[in-house]
Structure 1
């Protein structure tokens, strides 16, 4: 059921209470893929995720809204600790256990288990063990053969190693490891795969995702090597072959819990800040250009709110949902085509957790966390338009620490404005919705902002004809610090089953003279405006 809210514009508008934003038609636009939002899952976390229907139902509902399933990357640190063991008594085995993995063993039918679980049409990326060079990468070759044979057409891409720019610090490569050595080894292994009988005989021959670098360009190289790992340097070193390299991947975490110094600087307020998002993403503009020059594209192959599994009270909040929404759209606006949010079955930043578990002295339930709703909201942004490709541009007039805006186009020459998205990232804390049984209660917030929750009034100058009917959907929650009671215009997902609950309460309006649309959004809220 839709609530009708016709927006009457006043003849005189106080400039102090109303922001006017013009939608430029001649701005640079980038592709907005329907599968831009994906998940990266640690190999040792796959089995826990497929032991319940929760994840399957969540991803099925997302796929039904968008019309295409979210892509899944199975990779991460454990990828380079994986061994192939056909004599294993079970499909997989993590030693000493699946939370502190030193060795992860798999056999061929492990791929069948997770290949059958996720929604039909899911595209998978699988990360091979590049660390172990024994027997000319015999481990990686066995993994590749099993993945290609079992997953078939659903295996979209193969990665070689995870965060290879950290191999020296981990003791997996000697000092001097650089882009030239990496490129030589990358082609050595890919040549073996391409010339193998299993690859030649495969009906579907997956391409490759190259690079997989951890350190952002503006972060000093952890190895203190002269030859830093980035897309510019690695393509200069010769890692270019558009016939097999579909994408280059980089990783980005804006904060970290990996060491005490960085953990002490963690902040929800810093996460929920568009200027920080832009600073982090804009450093990849030259990297994206280098990938494009190599006739490939750039993806964020792994990201989340804070590396080393996140921090409850920050990563699992509504503020993290607003951050995730802004991150994906900002990335898309500079040409990054996909963004993969990392998951662990017991990680504090995971948007959903499949099984109950004991963690830091608390019994946590399986469930859905507030940060997941960035994906649920983005699904509505990516949906519709009868399969027409979408393109996105960031709105220059909606660019502040607490505010961002995006215009989405479709149709001939991508000149038809289809949707508008505005995100208020201002911090508003509440004592409502601060508990979620799947998160640590010790991190539940007891602080509320004072006064009445502010509203932002925005007037948008659009090319839409007067009288055009529009619909507004909202990503809304009690406050930045909320862990629950989050929804998209009245619809949420059941934390036990992943099924949809509630009915959409969209607002409707009419475009006024001159193509003007006036809207209001609360502090810490996001809205989608689209033709009804």
Structure 2
């Protein structure tokens, strides 16, 4: 077994989240406000069993009946035209093989295909803190596509240097050919005197048009804090280093496209205006594919590293169940999104999610985050961000991931709430790439009942409605009475994102379909599609749409809008290949239940290696030293792997 896999078998591998990242064998311990069951949980973070208590119904409760008027001309405040692929994903480089190994993972292909069917393409970034210390090599000593060198970590987040082979980029090309995924990569930025441009060279030659950007510097405003630059490091210094990178790329004939760079990728320590004031976006305009920032609403770093402010998911939960959450985040970037338009560049949210340092148990993996991400994502689109990448992957975070390494042969994937949000937003925006978003500020601007209208070519096509309240009695379900200037349709179609509570984990439904429980999905939704038809009152020019508490509704104002967003069954990928071809024997559970486990083996000790069986002459006394040697050898290999990485 490869050293990398042995190491992954024994330890959870973390993931970068804005300011702080977990890469080593950290195990987050739940804080004191969670239940007794969760306090004893010691497994991978992403499968933490804690379930929080939903907040009570707000006092006063939001109105449950109100009008939503949609204009068909003279509409002000519409966003720039948005792509259906607006809502994408960011994968930390150090854990990319957990999400897609050299064997193209069928669940990952299916998850991407679902979005491709709705949006036309999917945008995925592979990078993060680890990209700055990554080196492309022709091969690794043990044949792995990616190696982490523990023991040479840097900064408080234990970022390990990486080496990786072209196999990683070839995998990306294979995925793109099947699912139209478009990629962002990152140029290492830790040594600006000796640029390592191989990722740009191989990326461009292998991915071609599927490579849509190269990040230059990940969160440079944190470099000095992390010990990567002097304390005096400033926006001007970053600009100067960016210029050095451009010079190096200009001199490299193996990089034909010089206009794919993305910056400044700030974490929030510097204000973007500090970068714009240096002339960054104008001086380097011809080399820039986009401007970008990275931002999380808060962090859970105390639980991971013992630094910062202690927070629990229970106390933070109400702050996510409000329209003000997304509004607060994007308000800091309104000047920058407007500025980006003046210099002719897209403006990206390059990395975000519920909280840095892995999120909160019971919150980041619950229905609350699905509603929050829909609202936050559409708020970014309304504020003229042009792409939003939600960070996913890794076992030490509370987001959707494949099963942990030692369970990948018998467990399927766990699809978390953020993926449901991606489906919702992809269908809300559709594949026309002409969708414009409007925050309706409806229900008197009530923070618990946000809504958005989607326009195409000046006409309303869809309405997205969210209800943040949990109320099993049904008293907090609301009815939005939608009217369109001129004439209303005879009927509208509605898809619902539903769960019993904002704290429910797994088994959410999108239009009646679900990805099920933990360890249960191959990336294909199961169940019958349920699209509600609502007959409109054309006499009063109104369509009454009910939204459950909690839940979200996507209203299609015409059959054409529905057909554009959901073009029939998704082409998915069957599991016809196997990652495990040895030791696959099965036994009838009913037989096993009544067996004492030793029938027919009284005088022999079986082996698990192919073609190996110990005869009765090789008794237990002789076998035990060999078993001990195997265990000792495994431990030695693990120790060696820790020493060389």
Equivalent residue number for residue 235 of structure 1:
276
Q: Does 1:393 align with 2:449?
A: no
2:331 and 2:541 map into 1 onto residues whose CA distance is 32
Q: Does 1:94 align with 2:110?
A: no
Equivalent residue number for residue 182 of structure 1:
238
Which SS does the other structure have where 1:520 is aligned?
A: strand
2:184 to 125, 133, 149: 125
How do 1:228-377 and structure 2 match up within 5 A? Answer: 229-240=270-281, 241-259=284-302, 260=306, 261-264=308-311, 266=313, 267-350=316-399, 352-356=400-404, 366-377=413-424
How do 1:499-510 and structure 2 match up within 5 A? Answer: 499-510=524-535
How do 1:23-38 and structure 2 match up within 5 A? Answer: 23-24=70-71, 25=73, 26-30=75-79, 31-38=81-88
Equivalent residue number for residue 249 of structure 2:
193
Offset of 1:470 from its aligned partner?
Answer: 1.2
C-alpha distance after superposition, 1:143-164 (max 9, x if no partner): 2222222222211111112111
Per the alignment, do residues 410 and 467 of structure 1 end up closer, same or farther by CA in structure 2, a change over 3 Å counting? closer
Q: Greater CA radius of gyration, 1 or 2?
A: 2
Of stretches 389-398 and 112-121 in structure 1, the one that deviates more from structure 2 is 112-121
- Decide whether the 8 Å contact of 1:309 with 1:344 is kept in 2: no
1:281 and 1:268 map into 2 onto residues whose CA distance is 20
Q: Does 1:410 align with 2:460?
A: no
C-alpha distance after superposition, 1:419-462 (max 9, x if no partner): 11111112x2xxxxxxxxxxxxxxxxxxxx67456211221232
Equivalent residue number for residue 485 of structure 2:
463
1:293 and 1:277 map into 2 onto residues whose CA distance is 24
- Decide whether the 8 Å contact of 2:463 with 2:554 is kept in 1: yes
Offset of 1:180 from its aligned partner?
Answer: 1.0
1:257 and 1:39 map into 2 onto residues whose CA distance is 20
1:263 and 1:34 map into 2 onto residues whose CA distance is 38
Q: Does 1:74 align with 2:126?
A: yes
Per the alignment, do residues 349 and 32 of structure 1 end up closer, same or farther by CA in structure 2, a change over 3 Å counting? farther
Q: Which runs of 5+ in 1 are unaligned?
A: 1-14, 216-220, 222-228, 429-448
1:183 and 1:515 map into 2 onto residues whose CA distance is 56
Of stretches 89-98 and 264-273 in structure 1, the one that deviates more from structure 2 is 89-98
More strand by share: 1
1:20 and 1:54 map into 2 onto residues whose CA distance is 42
Q: Does 1:515 align with 2:556?
A: no
- Decide whether the 8 Å contact of 2:138 with 2:165 is kept in 1: yes
C-alpha distance after superposition, 1:240-295 (max 9, x if no partner): 23322121111111121113543425422211211122112212111212222222
Offset of 1:87 from its aligned partner?
Answer: 4.6
Q: Does 1:59 align with 2:106?
A: no
Per the alignment, do residues 376 and 388 of structure 1 end up closer, same or farther by CA in structure 2, a change over 3 Å counting? closer
Per the alignment, do residues 214 and 364 of structure 1 end up closer, same or farther by CA in structure 2, a change over 3 Å counting? farther
1:43 and 1:497 map into 2 onto residues whose CA distance is 23
2:243 and 2:347 map into 1 onto residues whose CA distance is 19
- Decide whether the 8 Å contact of 2:98 with 2:405 is kept in 1: no
TM-score (norm 1): 0.82
How do 1:128-147 and structure 2 match up within 5 A? Answer: 128-133=187-192, 136-139=193-196, 141-147=197-203
Q: Does 1:152 align with 2:208?
A: yes
- Decide whether the 8 Å contact of 1:158 with 1:206 is kept in 2: no
Offset of 1:396 from its aligned partner?
Answer: 2.4
Of stretches 240-249 and 52-61 in structure 1, the one that deviates more from structure 2 is 240-249
1:116 to 163, 169, 174: 174
TM-score (norm 2): 0.69
1:526 to 528, 541, 552: 552
2:505 and 2:122 map into 1 onto residues whose CA distance is 23
Q: Which runs of 5+ in 2 are unaligned?
A: 1-61, 560-645
Of stretches 43-52 and 314-323 in structure 1, the one that deviates more from structure 2 is 43-52
- Decide whether the 8 Å contact of 1:409 with 1:418 is kept in 2: yes
Of stretches 317-326 and 176-185 in structure 1, the one that deviates more from structure 2 is 176-185
2:486 and 2:552 map into 1 onto residues whose CA distance is 21
Equivalent residue number for residue 603 of structure 2:
none
2:336 and 2:292 map into 1 onto residues whose CA distance is 10
Offset of 1:196 from its aligned partner?
Answer: 1.2
- Decide whether the 8 Å contact of 2:498 with 2:509 is kept in 1: yes
1:324 and 1:71 map into 2 onto residues whose CA distance is 17
Offset of 1:467 from its aligned partner?
Answer: 4.2
Per the alignment, do residues 397 and 149 of structure 1 end up closer, same or farther by CA in structure 2, a change over 3 Å counting? same
Offset of 1:22 from its aligned partner?
Answer: 2.0
Which SS does the other structure have where 2:425 is aligned?
A: helix
1:345 and 1:181 map into 2 onto residues whose CA distance is 33
Aligned length: 469
